[in-house]
Amino acid sequence: MKLELPTVDDTKALGARLGARLRAGDLVVLTGPLGAGKTALVQGIGAGMGVQGRIASPTFVIARVHPAASADGPALVHVDAYRLGSLDEVDDLDLDVSAADSVTVVEWGAGLVEQLAEARLEIVLERRDDTEERVATLVPHGGDWATRLAELG
């Protein structure tokens, strides 16, 4: 599924629609160059999930946990794997400990975090020629992701 995102607000709105459909155990892997809108998408996901705290790129802290605002919602674990160079470094984060109870969204995670869940959603973000326009390609991998994406519209 490819979606045109003319503005940063459209990127956040896609994230909010997606976040409203995410549930504990979900893994979302974000791919795209610097400035493609990965963190903006996660900000929308956090809004859609109703999590606490300001969502910013966790580049230097590697991972941030945003607790759910309501008692029945999952936390959002936001990871930036840009500075991680190996599967061993990912394993050192112990993300698998919280994966079943949280939604895990990993920027720069392709090739590093797929083992965290049997199914995942990969989102490739591309930015068009020095504009705010982006294209998001959503690729389901197993589970019921294809059905959930069809509902996303």
pLDDT band at 88 (very low <50, low <70, confident <90, very high): low
pLDDT digits (tens, 9 = 90+) for 102-132: 899 988 777 777 777 889 999 999 988 878 8
Higher pLDDT, 90 or 137: 137
pLDDT of residue 24: 92
Q: What's the CATH architecture for 2-152? A: 3-Layer(aba) Sandwich (3.40)
pLDDT of residue 62: 66
State the pTM of this model. 0.85
pLDDT of residue 109: 75
Of the listed ranges 5-14, 86-95, 105-114, 131-140, the one predicted with least confidence: 86-95
Q: Spell 26-42 as b/e; 16+ CB within 10 A means b.
A: bbbbbbbeeebbbbbbb
Domain locations along the chain = 2-152
Strands 134-141 and 120-127: antiparallel
Q: Taking Cα atoms as reference points, which of 144, 150, 139, 147 lies closest to residue 28? A: 139
**Cα angle, residue 117 at apex, residues 12 and 37 outer, rounded to 5°:** 20
pLDDT digits (tens, 9 = 90+) for 30-81: 999 888 899 999 999 999 999 988 887 766 556 777 788 787 889 898 888 7
pLDDT band at 4 (very low <50, low <70, confident <90, very high): very high
pLDDT band at 96 (very low <50, low <70, confident <90, very high): low
Instruction: Say whether pLDDT at 97 is over 60.
Output: no
